[in-house]
Amino acid sequence: MDLKIAARMTAVIAIGAGLTATLMAISQRQGPEETPVFRSLDPGGEPENEARRELIRCRDLGAEALKDKACLKAWLESRRRFLKPSQSGEPAAPASRADQTVKP
C-alpha cells in the first residue's frame, strides 16, 4: 500500500512541476520589440565608399527600402558587381577526363 501512495505522490509532484514550468515559460514570452538586434557597425569587406554607405542606409531602412528608388539602384549595382561574368565571357569548363586512361 505504501508503494502505491508514494508512486501517486511522485506523479502529482512531477505533473505540478511540469505545469509550473510551462506557466513560467508562457508568462516570460518575448515579443519582437524586446528581441535584441545585433548589427555590425563595420561588416568588413571592401573599403568604405559611397555605394557601401548607400547599402548600409538601405539596410537600416528595413521594409521602406523596397519603395526607395536609390536603394533599388544600389541593390542592382551590387548584384551586377557580385555576379559579373568572367574575363573571357565564358564559364570555365571542368577538366576533361578523356585524356586520362583507366588502368584495371
Per DSSP, the residues of 17-68 read: HHHHHHHHHHHT---TTTS-----S---SSPP-HHHHHHHHHHHHGGGGGG-
What's this model's pTM, rounded to 2 decimal places? 0.39
The Cα 74–Cα 51 span in angstroms is 7
1 or 27: which leads in pLDDT: 27
The Cα 44–Cα 75 span in angstroms is 18
pLDDT in tens, 21-38: 998 888 876 655 665 666
pLDDT in tens, 45-75: 555 678 888 888 898 888 888 898 999 998 8
Neighbours of 78 (CB within 10 A): 15
Q: What is the DSSP letter of 97?
A: S
Q: Radius of gyration of the chain from Cα atoms?
A: 30
Give the position of cell 549595382.
77
